Structure 1
């Protein structure tokens, strides 16, 4: 069930008589206005960045403008991301600079054009997701190496000199550049860097947040104003007098250059594709709109690079800085990216003289700051948790010292070596307790781990009682044969072997002689959701004992696999829904919604009640306000269930009759909803039946959804089109979930087309998940 926002004079009693309708979608004019506003913000960010990247690439300055215009209009119109912005990318500067130096600018344009054709083919064959197989440690290391290389090169421009041919030469020449006096250029560069660093940290003025104004724009404008006011003699941006003079189209390479050009095309296509796809996925995490269709996005990037190369522009890729600015400015559709390209074209065509006032040292300072920002320490900390920081550091150093392609290949090779090591790594732990030998094997058990496992098993004394726990996610035939042969030999000596498989039954499936496990059920973790009693635990044990037993099972089988997920969730929570459910022990919200940690912000109480605002109960209201205002959940769900004890008590009049003094608070709590619930159909039935409890439980869900509308925070989010309300009903006997249908006004089974598969999107994106 989904509600429209009600007016400011909302009366909860009045809403009961109104039809329940679907959530109101954002009107087109409102979305268009939001996109237009966001496009102006991105335009202001893109102009200085595009010029700076052209400088760092050794390309004509107009090439950066062409790429920004084409990236915005073509990639925005054709691509598959709702809010990603494309344009000249810092991650491609080293490749482009080397290509310009080796082949000249016009052949570089030809390479860009062909790289776009390659991307079009990759997108057409639906292999976009294959590009994501490259380790993020390699990608982040590559970008960090590119950032350091850019920063080292542009430091020379700030100091009034020229970049050298390699990062090592830039480092070697840097002391000499610092020793020379370049006062004006240094001042402009330092002004730019200082403003870039400090702008986002400045406090707001009244209701104006200075951080909303692009730092790049402020830095370049301030540096330009200082240089102009001071009359400093500096090298400045030079644009061609006309578009005809600006055009410098692609040219065919010489016969002896064909082999190198083929390699360059593959390099540009690979780096641009991976950077764009990773950016699209990262941007998806910043908004709640349509998810990116990666194959479509790759086609959009290919079309943009084809056009950009043909018009004499730089290679195009999805860029995170402009995309982030786009999302934060309120963009919702590709219209924002398209309009930002239009604004750039209009601005350069009409106000080129203002662009030519910008000192080159200001663009260099901008690039130095961006280059340093590309070395993201957050990535290093995250990779350390996964023991992949060595891949990052080796890739970074290789890119800086050897070059981009060499660094990526070295990083990719190291990532493959680390992955193979992990796949073949196996740990064996032994412990002797209560006259039994306990052996635990963890990891992937392949022939490479057989010697270590065999050595440990051979050290077990003959005739001993052995518990062998196989915590393995894979077992090949060689490993099975070695363990099975040892087991047969050990049992011949009078010993016993009790094998317990925690994950899949690799050993049991391969052996006709495997004895039944005496420690866990054959189903293993496949029945993790079952109650303790159905998993073989003794209900005669105390509750605390069962809890400790369950905790030990969790630590032995699940905690290790949860650690990576929980380490990320520990930093912040971003639940997708506030789930209000009954405290009944038979209702498990995460189980009936197939959700996991971090998905649901759960509020449970007797009868899943939501007292109207101002009724005297603050705990429920506090949870609602926190979920809606602070966590900004996009959905609130109220879930009732069959055989609800609270609804039965209301029908029995337990909230009114004098009763047990020990239950006074329970009676008061039930009384908060009694006025509307006890006589949902007029008079309460003389003999409450299960059918009456069912009707009351479902009516209860509708009433609590209406009570939610009495909270201003909920109503405000509904008016903004950023929240939906849904009613669910869980039938305990059939284990089926029902949803409140808006049009019918009754609960119906959840239809199959409303149950998406893992990580899928709505129907308009189903093509993304079909086999390639």
Structure 2
């Protein structure tokens, strides 16, 4: 019973989003609905994350729009076939975890860039205006679209489309904030679409409405002889690789985040990636949009009390039954209202709090994030992501090759202070050894490690040997290991608390189709056991295990 109720709630959320994303990509709403059906009935059955709901996602709108513009709808099936095949191969060979090995700065930059393009492109559709082509042009022409909608010379369709779009967003905000607790199980998206569609129908607004074919399955494009030719086109293969990468990263990050919301079965990432691949392979055969695991539908599924994968499968069944027997209801929905859903989704993807969160780990993370966003908006998605990856690699190399040393000596106390900043690795051993050799052996040397990002066994061994040498010369070595552990522990705690708080707020509000998700870097960073002992004033040769 729990799964049945949850499946119906998820169906109510998924239906308008499937149509809105399809329209945003420039294809029939029926294409998006078919993808949602496959996401529920196929991936829901095969996937490794039982409570994750799959379907067309806002995160793929930008790249799919470019693909359809470049290749045309006739090559969509071949591209999705390539993407699905790559995902299946990745899952079967146990490569799922590698898709998650991407820095949060790139993931969040990718989502923010997609959000900006989605916001700009759908804003024009929301006010019954035409898209201006590129992302930059869409952004720059937003003021003109607003003027066109509110000026005295505006046509009736512009005014009323803008009214319906703005009303949709306001209803979503109002329902999310003020709806009675017992009614919050009803999705805000559904409430907004229902109210706005009723207003448009009662007052006969002359705006664009959802256009569905008499037979929804007439939109399917099965493979033919040309498909084999398309599959040998290197541009088709490259586009398939792009779709596979973005869809896989979004799916697996969503699955990781979803595991934090329930105590049930944990995600089998390789099985989930394989299931997504099978689903997208089927989508490719039918010539419809690709899918990913999506956060809001999955979060609603958990919040509505789902316990098994049956809720996921049944939501696909509900979609199939609805479009088979009640398709005329969908024709009452204004396109501007669906566009408003994606405008709101795009805004939520551009989460400025992410910048503050990333800044806790240095300016370099913010630079990677900003570069990714700017290039996605100004050039294209692939260029932005590749630039982010390149900067991340440069940062990694710099981090593990930079070691700054500052030495000061106090003649009155015969103490030398050595401050280390950066990463003390075997790559920097010659530099560190040269510095230590220049320090007097008969002094009391205090080595400060609190500014280190990392220290390996080779450098620890070097310091231990130095301690023995200094004792023989009448000197001593003082290292407060607890400062190193405290720094790593505080960094990890700060990030975890901020990340969990941000994630809970995002999933509870259910205000975006694809929420900004950040893998917890604490699983990759160094730390040490809690050590609250007083600072040692004598030589220490004990090495604390740095985890």
Q: Please give the range of the TM-score, normalised by the shorter of the 2 chains.
A: 0.7 to 0.9
Contact 2:35 2:55 in 1 (8 A): yes
Aligned residue for 2:270? 295
Deviation sequence 1:300-348 (CA, Å, 0-9, x none): 1001101112122210110001001111111111111100010011111
The verdict on how the C-alpha distance between 1:255 and 1:296 changes in structure 2, with shifts beyond 3 A counting, is: closer
Cα distance in 2, alignment partners of residues 469 and 99 from structure 1: 54
The verdict on how the C-alpha distance between 1:396 and 1:571 changes in structure 2, with shifts beyond 3 A counting, is: closer
Indicate the SS of the match to 2:308.
Answer: coil
Q: Decide which of 161, 176, 191 is 1:200's aligned counterpart.
A: 176
Aligned residue for 1:617? none
Cα distance in 2, alignment partners of residues 203 and 344 from structure 1: 26
User: 2:347 aligned with 1:381, yes or no?
Assistant: no
Indicate the SS of the match to 2:405.
Answer: strand
Q: Decide which of 398, 401, 406 is 2:383's aligned counterpart.
A: 406
Note the C-alpha offset of 1:199: 1.4
Note the C-alpha offset of 1:171: 2.3
Q: Decide which of 44, 60, 65 is 2:33's aligned counterpart.
A: 65
Aligned residue for 2:371? 394
Contact 2:467 2:477 in 1 (8 A): no
Deviation sequence 1:278-300 (CA, Å, 0-9, x none): 11000000000010000000111
Aligned residue for 2:182? 209
Q: Decide which of 106, 123, 132 is 1:164's aligned counterpart.
A: 132
Indicate the SS of the match to 2:333.
Answer: coil
Aligned residue for 2:494? 567
Deviation sequence 1:577-613 (CA, Å, 0-9, x none): xxxxxxxxxxxxxxxxxxxx9xxxxxxxxxxxxxxxx
The verdict on how the C-alpha distance between 1:224 and 1:573 changes in structure 2, with shifts beyond 3 A counting, is: closer
Note the C-alpha offset of 1:262: 1.2
Note the C-alpha offset of 1:256: 11
Note the C-alpha offset of 1:568: 4.1
User: 2:258 aligned with 1:283, yes or no?
Assistant: yes
Aligned residue for 1:337? 312
Cα distance in 2, alignment partners of residues 151 and 572 from structure 1: 25
Cα distance in 2, alignment partners of residues 487 and 288 from structure 1: 50
Alignment RMSD (CA, Å): 3.0
User: 2:251 aligned with 1:272, yes or no?
Assistant: no
Contact 1:77 1:338 in 2 (8 A): yes
Q: Which moved more, 1:244-253 or 1:224-233?
A: 244-253
Note the C-alpha offset of 1:569: 5.2
Note the C-alpha offset of 1:37: 0.6
Aligned residue for 1:620? none
> Structure 1: which 5+ residue stretches go unaligned?
1-32, 503-551, 575-596, 598-772
Deviation sequence 1:110-155 (CA, Å, 0-9, x none): 1112211111111111111111111121111101110110110011
Contact 1:468 1:498 in 2 (8 A): no
Aligned residue for 1:444? 423
User: 2:84 aligned with 1:116, yes or no?
Assistant: yes
Q: Give the TM-score, by structure 1 length.
A: 0.59
Contact 2:55 2:293 in 1 (8 A): yes
Q: Give the TM-score, by structure 2 length.
A: 0.82
Match runs of 1:537-686 below 5 Å: 554=482, 556-568=483-495, 570=497
Cα distance in 2, alignment partners of residues 175 and 280 from structure 1: 38
The structure whose Rg is larger is 1
Aligned residue for 1:134? 102
Count of matched residue pairs: 485
Q: Decide which of 239, 243, 255 is 2:212's aligned counterpart.
A: 239
Aligned residue for 1:189? 165
Deviation sequence 1:19-40 (CA, Å, 0-9, x none): xxxxxxxxxxxxxx11111111
Greater RCO structure (CA 8 Å; 6+ sep): 2
Aligned residue for 1:649? none
Contact 2:447 2:477 in 1 (8 A): yes
Aligned residue for 2:399? 422
Indicate the SS of the match to 2:138.
Answer: helix
User: 2:144 aligned with 1:176, yes or no?
Assistant: yes
> Structure 2: which 5+ residue stretches go unaligned?
149-153, 502-526, 528-547
Aligned residue for 2:456? 474
Cα distance in 1, alignment partners of residues 303 and 140 from structure 2: 41
Cα distance in 1, alignment partners of residues 73 and 500 from structure 2: 48
Contact 1:155 1:364 in 2 (8 A): yes
Deviation sequence 1:371-391 (CA, Å, 0-9, x none): 111122343332121222222
Aligned residue for 2:67? 99
Cα distance in 2, alignment partners of residues 290 and 227 from structure 1: 44
Aligned residue for 1:45? 13
Q: Decide which of 327, 330, 337 is 1:355's aligned counterpart.
A: 330
Q: Decide which of 324, 341, 356 is 2:299's aligned counterpart.
A: 324
Note the C-alpha offset of 1:413: 1.1
Deviation sequence 1:258-277 (CA, Å, 0-9, x none): 11111111111111111111
Cα distance in 1, alignment partners of residues 499 and 372 from structure 2: 29
Contact 2:425 2:455 in 1 (8 A): no
The verdict on how the C-alpha distance between 1:462 and 1:473 changes in structure 2, with shifts beyond 3 A counting, is: closer
The verdict on how the C-alpha distance between 1:442 and 1:80 changes in structure 2, with shifts beyond 3 A counting, is: same
Cα distance in 1, alignment partners of residues 186 and 496 from structure 2: 31
Contact 1:148 1:400 in 2 (8 A): yes
Contact 1:38 1:329 in 2 (8 A): yes
The verdict on how the C-alpha distance between 1:462 and 1:244 changes in structure 2, with shifts beyond 3 A counting, is: closer
Cα distance in 1, alignment partners of residues 497 and 248 from structure 2: 32
Deviation sequence 1:455-499 (CA, Å, 0-9, x none): 75466457544355677522669x989x899999x979x955645
Q: Decide which of 435, 442, 453 is 2:414's aligned counterpart.
A: 435
Cα distance in 1, alignment partners of residues 465 and 256 from structure 2: 49
Indicate the SS of the match to 1:290.
Answer: coil
Indicate the SS of the match to 2:100.
Answer: helix
Contact 1:124 1:295 in 2 (8 A): yes
Contact 2:30 2:216 in 1 (8 A): no
Q: Which has the higher helix share?
A: 2
Contact 1:116 1:269 in 2 (8 A): yes
Contact 1:83 1:327 in 2 (8 A): yes
Cα distance in 1, alignment partners of residues 44 and 242 from structure 2: 23
Deviation sequence 1:41-94 (CA, Å, 0-9, x none): 110000110111111112222110011000011111000112100000111111
Note the C-alpha offset of 1:157: 0.9
Indicate the SS of the match to 2:61.
Answer: helix
